Homo-oligomer: A and B are copies of this chain.
Amino acid sequence: MSIRDLARHLDISIGTVSRALNGKADVNPETRERVLEAAKQLGYVPNQSGRSLRQGTTNTIGFMIESTIETVDNGGSFFMPVFEGVQSVFRRHHLDLVALLCGTDEDPASYLNRVVARRFVDGLIISATARSDPRIDFLLERKIPFVALGRSATKGDYPWIDLDFEGVASQAVQRLAGFGHRRIAIGTPASDINLGYLFLDGYRRALADHGIAFDPELVLPANGNEEGGYQVACALLAQNPMPTAIILVNENMAIGLYRRLHEAGIQPGRDIAVIGFRESTQSRFLSPTLTCFRISLRDLGIKLAEALLATLPAFASQYPREKVALIWPMELVPGESDGPMPSSAA
């Protein structure tokens, strides 16, 4: 069922059929009606390759995620709501969203190169930005519309949105300092991912603001998953005196941390203050509930989509915003896992 078949069936030219289907003005309303009716009847949908070849656009947006140890296990719970938000915007513009999964054994930059060169997508959302990220230079140079979920030290004029890692670290320190804590540990990502630096920066600045000396011993790098949280707890327990508070950069860490603390008979909120990162369905059901930060991932997705649309030539007029460079705030959700200094340690 090609446009030719449809035209033959209606006994009009394919040019007219095309124009009718694409809502061009110069077509008889009655003819259009007939065409649309027949298309529906016969289940005709234009072949995307034909359109793409002719128009040079694919009407498809790629959201690139890398399967790392952290995302394979848990990343889905972060990305799925974001996708949902992105898609809700794109659907209005008849753009399709596809998730581009860069495997663990493939270099992200060369994967991206392939996707772009094949003209697979009209625009891209990239995530997990590295401190120095060659993908950004590449996309800028090729003038491929994209938006980054995550900042990077890589320079250039491109839109990005990132979570407020410094703000989270800083709010957490402030809250804990207010409770009287001074030995505040921090669980950071073990990898080179950019957010780790931001998180640490916010932590250090907030410590300084509260006149607390920075102690490198209290920075505990680990993988951003349950296992990592378990190791962070081990590292905490090994210290003497043990820190009275811990801030985590990743929501999944909390699960493993809770486990190890439980094994040691230490209860969050009573014996140690714990502040997690992102509120998740899990964190709400931990016992005791986790003090953490709330964010609407769906809204984040919506904003990402809008930021990208503003850079797409075909849609820029509808989204005539400035280039987005946005640090997305996160809202503290108090739980039972932190509070005043345990009296024994005071």
Q: List residues of chain A with CB under 8 Å of any chain B CB.
A: 1, 43-50, 52-53, 58, 67, 71-81, 83-84, 87-88, 91, 96-101, 103-106, 113-114, 117-120, 225-227, 229-230, 252, 255-256, 258-259, 262-263, 281-282, 284-287
**Which residue of B45, B98, B229 contacts A118 across the interface (Cβ within 8 Å)?**
B45
**Which residue of B101, B259, B285 contacts A287 across the interface (Cβ within 8 Å)?**
B259
| Distance in Å: Cβ of A43 to nearest Cβ of chain B | 7
- Whether the Cβ atoms of B46 and A49 lie closer than 8 Å is no
- Given the complex, which residues of B lie within 8 Å of A46, measured CB to CB? 118
| Distance in Å: Cβ of A79 to nearest Cβ of chain B | 6
Expressed in whole angstroms, the Cα–Cα distance for A78 and B76 within the complex equals 8
- Given the complex, which residues of B lie within 8 Å of A263, measured CB to CB? 287
The main secondary structure of chain A at its interface with chain B is: helix
- Whether the Cβ atoms of B119 and A48 lie closer than 8 Å is yes
**Which residue of B58, B76, B96, B227 contacts A79 across the interface (Cβ within 8 Å)?**
B76
CB-nearest residue of chain B to A261:
B287
- Given the complex, which residues of B lie within 8 Å of A286, measured CB to CB? 255, 259
Expressed in whole angstroms, the Cα–Cα distance for A43 and B87 within the complex equals 31
Contacts A48-B119, A255-B282, A259-B285; is A101 near B76 (CB within 8 Å)? no
What are 28 residue pairs bridging A and B, where the CB atoms are less than 8 Å apart in the complex? A43-B113, A45-B113, A45-B114, A46-B118, A47-B118, A48-B49, A49-B119, A50-B53, A67-B80, A67-B87, A72-B81, A73-B80, A74-B76, A76-B77, A77-B77, A83-B101, A84-B101, A87-B103, A91-B105, A98-B98, A252-B281, A255-B281, A255-B286, A256-B285, A259-B286, A259-B287, A263-B287, A282-B282
